[in-house]
Amino acid sequence: MIEKSAPRTQEKTHKIRGKVRLREHLMGWLFVGPFGIVFLALLIAPLAYALYLSLFQKKLIGGTSFVFLDNYVKAFTDPSFLSGSWFVIRFSLVSIPLQIIVALALALILDAVTSMFTRFSRLMIFLPYAIPTVIGAVMWGFLYSKSFGPLSDIFGLLGTAPPDFLGSNLIFYGLVNVVTWQWAGYYMIILYAALQGIDPALYEAARMDGAGKWQVALRIKIPLIAPALLLILVFSLIGTLQFFNEPQILRSLAAGTIGPDFTPNMYAYQQAFALANFNYGSAISFALGGIVFVGVYAFLFFTRKRRSFL
Amino acid sequence: MNKKWLSAAAKLAAATVLASVLAACSAGGGGGTNTASGSGASNCTNTIPKKNLPVVTMWGWYPNMQLVVDNFNKQNGEVQVCWTNVGQGSDEYDKFQTAISAGTGAPDVIMIEMDRIPTFQIQNALVDIKKYGFDAVKADYSEGAWKDVSVGDAVYGVPVDGGPMAMIYRKDIFEKYDITPPKTWAEYEQAAQKIKDAGGPAFGDFAANVSALTMALQIQKGAAPFTYDPAQQSSVGVKLNDQGSKDVLDYWGRLAKNGLVGTQDQFTPEYISGVINGKYATYISAAWAPGYLTGAGVGKGEDTGKFAVAPLPQWDADHPVQVNWGGSAFSVTSQAKNPELAAKVAYGLYADKESLTDGWTNQIIFPLNLKALNDPEFVNLKVAFFDGQQANKEVYVPAANAYKGVTYSPFGQYYFDAMTKQVSALIEGSVTGAQAADRLQEDVAKYAKEQGFTVQ
């Protein structure tokens, strides 16, 4: 009896399971649906359209023609695109380590020190991130002013002319400063949250073994928040390679220093919206996307052992 | 000290709003920026009084646009205007450009600076309005004004305001260093040297971001940067490295190198603060400048009544050449549903006495309409900004009358950006003026070829 019925029950459960699975599948798609539609309509479709546009060339005289990859060949031999790309790469190499060191130092201090000012300091350090990029850039534009900013007052006391952070010599550092000011606080919060997640028992154990505060920070805390560090590294790498807002805003104060091809994103914007060359603008965007992809992929590849967040 | 700093900062904050969006355009003024698309008649900034009439949509940014539109709508029994301000200068052009590329979204009538007309015309974005009542208003404008809005024989806009150029200067600085207004550019340089030797401020400013001004100064020395015949649309003449153009760049490059003039970007709070504080003895600019400067807070505090104006210095005092910077027109777009009706608006708007008078008394425009230009009240106006000087009679009207018009390029945006790049390099000292002109020629000619033109 039992032996006989066993295959039947199995068959039955199989059937039921199949039905359940189908229903689960349907439910799954239903839940993913709203996101999927938005994802397709607002991300994949525009990307595909831009890719399609980038394969054509539109001339003022002669109209539009299919040129396949010519726009990409042009982009990678275009001094404007290349110098813009080189600028953002150099910018990444300087500004990203700086931001991360500042954020890490602040996070470690706030984690180690507990006083009534910790909370206040945390908020204050985070505050720049809450200020819209555009307003932050305008504000720094004023602070950098040679004639009415605080710089002129400070250097006036010393009897020298203030440095011109909007001039072509110092604009690099002027922008590094703006970006660090804006983002270090945000990264600090991410690292701080990661630090809070560490089991305090580990510190106790380390102390029992004779580790000082420095050693706890260097050998326990930093290795344990390495995944968070990696995460903010990738964030900042992508963000910096797509540099746009700050230079675009400061351009209205220093058009001579910051050309329309200052960064690849600005160049794409100029081509598409000022020169009506959507095709080449799309090609530049995709070429930049390629650079970002290669950069991030290479980075993840070299750090793959510690990669636990992806 | 602190208080002074604050008030300066407040003034300059107001100035930024204007300055950041103003690039060589006709007049200053705030005004809300309405980003709504102007193609629908449902979202006008103004209220349409006669609701049963057909409506023409338009974009424009004159500070007194509301009044001008109201005047038109009140006086017209045939058509009503629905106006929106989508931003000044580049902001508006970028939106218009996007609408052209999209094939929809442009207004029926649009305000554009005259040097941009060929840029949009070549994309077939504007309508030739010659057949829609041109003869009736032909006599209302000078020949030079018509030339600036024409491409070949076709007329693509109705001139509204112009920018005859002159030299604005600080009377207090000129008196202190015992200088009379220079009549030639050679005298200008000598005066600059004299002030510098005496430890005075910069004599003027040579900025990278005002390509339209640099172009005007080159035209004064005989440059004819572009030749362009719409009958042969595929061919364009580009001549940016003729001797005149080189000389002008060399001249200003030398002045900048010797520290005789500043190199601050114009239309920035930094520059305006310099003007207010007497850091520049002269401001080479156009007839809209007093209005712009007043709007930016100049001539209202300690610097009240310190400004005066003199004719633009010349290369050859015996053969003076007058040039123009900025100035705008109303054009009919090819997306207009009813071009004839739209042309009526373009011709009629800002052409009635009431609007024109409001424009020039408030220093919003230097009118090109001869009804205003020949109005004795306008000519004899004692301009408050210039401490009661009859600036129109003495300087601006003669300059406007002697202006011959220019052929602008069909890729104005690219040309101006490329010029900014070269002037920036010239200021830095990495190229000479002549080299800058050669590189500019190479750059722009290459772009023209890429765009399918035959370059002559």
List pLDDT tens digits, range A136-193: 998 998 888 887 778 878 887 887 878 888 888 889 999 999 999 999 999 999 999 9
Same domain for B78 and B157, yes or no, is yes
Percent share of chain B, pLDDT over 70? 91
Predicted pLDDT at A24: 82
The reply to whether B366 falls in a domain is yes
Query: A-B interface: how many C-beta pairs under 8 angstroms?
Result: 89
CA distance A112 to chain B (A): 40
Set of chain B residues whose Cβ sits within 8 Å of the Cβ of A168: 424, 428
Chain A's closest residue to B118, CA to CA, is: A60
Cross-chain Cβ contact B265/A254 below 8 Å: yes
Cross-chain Cβ contact A168/B93 below 8 Å: no
Query: Is residue B438 a contact partner of residue B241, using CB atoms and an 8 Å limit?
Result: yes
The reply to whether B140 falls in a domain is yes
Task: Tell me which residues of chain A, numbers 111 to 140, contact chain B at a CB-CB cutoff of 8 Å.
Answer: 138
Cross-chain Cβ contact B417/A148 below 8 Å: no
Nearest to B101 among A142, A270, A276 (CB): A276
CA distance B98 to chain A (A): 6
Chain B's closest residue to A58, CA to CA, is: B451
Interface ipTM > 0.85: no
Alpha helices per DSSP H over chain A: 2-39, 45-53, 70-75, 79-112, 117-130, 133-143, 150-158, 171-196, 200-208, 213-215, 222-224, 226-241, 245-250, 264-269, 278-302
Q: What's the domain range around B375? A: 21-162+327-387
Query: Is residue A108 a contact partner of residue A228, using CB atoms and an 8 Å limit?
Result: no
Residue B35 pLDDT > 70: no
* Angstrom distance (rounded) from CA B454 to CA A87: 34
Predicted pLDDT at A194: 93
Number of structural domains chain B divides into: 2
* Angstrom distance (rounded) from CA A268 to CA A88: 14
Task: Tell me which residues of chain B, numbers 259 to 318, contact chain A at a CB-CB cutoff of 8 Å.
Answer: 263, 265, 268-270, 273-274, 277, 279
pLDDT in tens, B133-148: 899 999 999 888 898 8
Residue B408 pLDDT > 70: yes
Residue A251: CB atoms within 10 A of its CB come to 22
Residue A210: CB atoms within 10 A of its CB come to 7
Same domain for B367 and B448, yes or no, is no
The reply to whether B188 falls in a domain is yes
Predicted pLDDT at B18: 36
One-letter amino acid of A188: M
The reply to whether B8 falls in a domain is no
* Length of chain B (residues): 456
Query: Where is average pLDDT lowest: A297-306, B407-416, B441-450?
Result: A297-306
* Angstrom distance (rounded) from CA B434 to CA B439: 9
The reply to whether B6 falls in a domain is no
One-letter amino acid of A275: L
Residue A214 corresponds to which tokens in the numbers above? 């420095």
The reply to whether B432 falls in a domain is yes
Predicted pLDDT at B8: 43
Same domain for B332 and B189, yes or no, is no
Nearest to B8 among A138, A148, A168 (CB): A148
* Angstrom distance (rounded) from CA B52 to CA A38: 42
Is residue A254 less than 8 Å (CB to CB) from chain B? yes
Predicted pLDDT at A59: 84
Same domain for B341 and B316, yes or no, is no
Kindly list the distances between the CA atom of residue B87 and the CA atoms of A217, B18, B272, in Å, as whole numbers in the listed order.
Answer: 53, 11, 21
Same domain for B215 and B305, yes or no, is yes
The CATH number for B100's domain is: 3.40.190.10
Looking at the DSSP bridge assignments, the partners of residue B158 are B330
Predicted pLDDT at A145: 84
The reply to whether B396 falls in a domain is no
Predicted pLDDT at B396: 94
Residue B454 corresponds to which tokens in the numbers above? 């035959």
Predicted pLDDT at A291: 87
The strand pair at B55-59 and A63-66 is best described as: unpaired
Predicted pLDDT at A65: 85
Predicted pLDDT at A7: 54
Same domain for B238 and B312, yes or no, is yes
Same domain for B448 and B412, yes or no, is yes
End position of a domain, from candidates B387, B417, B438? B387
Burial of B276 (0-12, 13-18, 19+ CB in 10 A): buried
pLDDT in tens, B209-231: 999 999 999 999 999 999 887 77
Nearest to B209 among A59, A145, A255 (CB): A255
Residue stretches of chain A with pLDDT short of 70? 1-16, 305-310
Same domain for B299 and B415, yes or no, is yes
Is residue B33 less than 8 Å (CB to CB) from chain A? no
Residue B365 pLDDT > 50: yes
Looking at the DSSP bridge assignments, the partners of residue A65 are A57
The strand pair at B307-311 and B454-455 is best described as: unpaired
Query: Where is average pLDDT lowest: A36-40, B161-165, B296-300, B395-399?
Result: B296-300
* Angstrom distance (rounded) from CA B199 to CA A255: 29
Cross-chain Cβ contact B413/A274 below 8 Å: yes
Same domain for B30 and B111, yes or no, is yes
The reply to whether B10 falls in a domain is no
pLDDT, mean over chain A: 86
Predicted pLDDT at A308: 52
A158 contacts: CB under 8 Å, gap ≥ 6: none
Percent share of chain B, pLDDT over 90? 66
Same domain for B114 and B261, yes or no, is no
Structure-model confidence comparison of residues B184 and A300, the more confident one = B184
Same domain for B283 and B346, yes or no, is no
State the pTM of this model. 0.83
Q: In the Cβ-directed half-sphere of B385, how many Cα atoms lie within 13 Å?
A: 24
pLDDT, mean over chain B: 87
Same domain for B143 and B37, yes or no, is yes
Kindly list the distances between the CA atom of residue A21 and the CA atoms of A14, A32, A121, in Å, as whole numbers in the listed order.
Answer: 10, 16, 52
Predicted pLDDT at B313: 97
Residue B66 pLDDT > 70: yes
Nearest to A61 among B234, B263, B417 (CB): B234
pLDDT in tens, B188-213: 999 999 999 999 999 999 999 999 99
